[in-house]
Amino acid sequence: MTIRFRIPALAATAATGVLLLTACSATDSQPAATRASNADPGTGHLHGLGVDPADGTLYAAGHLGVFRLGTTGAVRIADRYQDTMGFTVTGPRTFLASGHPSPVDPTATSPHLGLIRSTDAGATWERRAKIPGGDLATHPEAPQEVWATTRDGLLHSTDGGTRFQPVPTAPALTAVERPAPGQLIALATDGKVLASGDGTSWTERGRLPQGAQPAVLTAASPAHLLAADTNDAVYESKDGGRTWTVVHRPDHGNTEH
């Protein structure tokens, strides 16, 4: 099934995709099967983006599934409506994710997916660690190294996400990225932009504009960062987080979904 984007040319750049990396709404929480209308509800809010190095395909993790993005629309993978929140591409056709099962999934035994892994570009998923991951980070050159933000702190895995250990010296983080092997960039809960090599010690690089409550971070490169706050505003930095400019500020007076 092909779904037209709600924002034109979403697949053109990761920056455009970040415009939808926002908190979930009650309206989007129901899959198509539970709605009176037969119309497909689309992606819902997007939580993450990734490019498959196998063929360059852009994928998006949405509130209503994982989608393959193209210039004409979004195609839901395997007709699965799981709320895929944390999402990262770790290698060719290989994804890690976390989130919540579809509310109409008869096989669901928990409101949480934990950490799940796919080696066929999202067609089938296998269970990994049972963690309440909020954001995930890894790098294709070191896929065995996985980092996850949780309400209880930063977690680290050295076996591809099968087992995790807490990083007790890490600050409270909202989002984490691994733009290069041996480099972590994160958003702290207070809006600071932090950098680290191994997750144990962190250096402040900058911070989001005053009043911005951090929600999402995407690192196109170590220097080129994109972030979104809880009010859906999107910011861009081209100097590794030292300075930021506003690239999108939504009109919340518009109540249409």
C-alpha torsion angle, residues 110, 113, 117, 119 (rounded to 10): 80
Q: How far apart are CA 146 and CA 163, in angstroms?
A: 10
Q: How many helices (H) and strands (E) are present in the chain, helices listed first?
A: 1, 21
pLDDT computed for residue 157 by the predictor = 93
Position 119 pLDDT exceeds 90: yes
Q: How far apart are CA 15 and CA 216, in angstroms?
A: 12
Q: How far apart are CA 236 and CA 219, in angstroms?
A: 10
Q: How far apart are CA 175 and CA 185, in angstroms?
A: 9
* Residue 104 banded pLDDT, cuts 50, 70, 90: confident
112: buried, middle or exposed (CB in 10 Å: 19+, 13-18, 0-12)?
middle
pLDDT computed for residue 58 by the predictor = 84
Position 17 pLDDT exceeds 50: no
What tens digit of pLDDT does each residue of 59-71 get?
888 889 999 888 7
Tokens representing residue 175 in the block: 């989002």
CB 237 within 8 A of CB 220: no
Q: Which helix (H) or strand (E) holds 14?
A: helix 14-17
Q: How far apart are CA 111 and CA 255, in angstroms?
A: 28
pTM score, whole prediction? 0.70
- The more confident residue out of 240 and 46 is 240
